[in-house]
Amino acid sequence: MSRIGKKPVQVPAGVTASVDGQKVTAKGPKGELFFVANDEVSVKLEDNAVVVQPLSQSKDARSKWGMSRTMIENILKGVKDGYERKLEINGVGYRASLQGKNLQLALGFSHDVVYQTPEGITIAVPKPTEIIVSGINKQQVGQVAAEIREYRGPEPYKGKGVKYAEERIVRKEGKKK
């Protein structure tokens, strides 16, 4: 049994949620998002809360039950507060800057890397060594942060590269004489 799926998702204040068949739509101060649930679960709006139930006791239906509830919770939180991911840049000469809406990264290559910011995502560079990716869609924010990190991931010897702010780099010892 899903422990996550059993809990109804409370609709936060300032957010309106509607259920139309398998489609859950949330409108809030930050924007509008929707999620289409799988056919193996039922979605209902009861007492200002979204309730998700599996239609059968098959393993597939029960696995989609918890995932559907989490996705609905993510869109409700996203339209109310939004999501953000912080990245840090370590290394001599490594820096980031904004060029209009595009992110320009100097990461030790012979050329600067220019990252095109997708629709619905905001990138801020408060310091040349810090990048903040924010938006209302949790999956999209995480994907953009991962794509930026992928250009030059942190290496284990000196820790140079782009890393998440909360990430710990396991350092290795260098060569011995």
Same domain? For 90 and 150 the reply is yes
Final residue in a domain of this structure, among 80, 108, 133: 80
Same domain? For 154 and 92 the reply is yes
55 Cβ contact partners less than 8 Å away, ≥ 6 residues apart: 39, 40, 41, 42, 61
- Tokens 């509008």 — which residue? 32
What are the two backbone dihedrals, phi and then psi, of residue 139, each rounded to the nearest 5 degrees? Answer: -65, -45
Final residue in a domain of this structure, among 34, 62, 80: 80
Q: Report if residue 136 sits inside a domain.
A: yes
Q: Report if residue 11 sits inside a domain.
A: yes
Residue 34 belongs to what domain range?
3-80
Helix, strand or coil, per DSSP, at residue 62: helix
Same domain? For 68 and 37 the reply is yes
Same domain? For 138 and 97 the reply is yes
On the question of pLDDT at 1 being above 70, the answer is no
On the question of pLDDT at 166 being above 80, the answer is yes
Cβ–Cβ < 8 Å for 65, 3:
no
| Mean model confidence pLDDT for the chain | 92
* CATH code, 68: 3.90.930.12
Final residue in a domain of this structure, among 38, 55, 80: 80
Taking only the tens place, the pLDDT of each residue in 67-117 is 999 999 999 999 999 999 999 999 999 999 999 999 999 999 999 999 999
Same domain? For 7 and 75 the reply is yes
Q: Report if residue 34 sits inside a domain.
A: yes
Q: Report if residue 52 sits inside a domain.
A: yes
Taking only the tens place, the pLDDT of each residue in 108-124 is 999 999 999 999 999 99
pLDDT tier, 4 (very low <50, low <70, confident <90, very high otherwise):
confident
pLDDT tier, 3 (very low <50, low <70, confident <90, very high otherwise):
confident
Integer Cα distance of 101 and 157 in angstroms: 33
pLDDT tier, 2 (very low <50, low <70, confident <90, very high otherwise):
low
Number of structural domains (the chain) is 2
Same domain? For 65 and 122 the reply is no
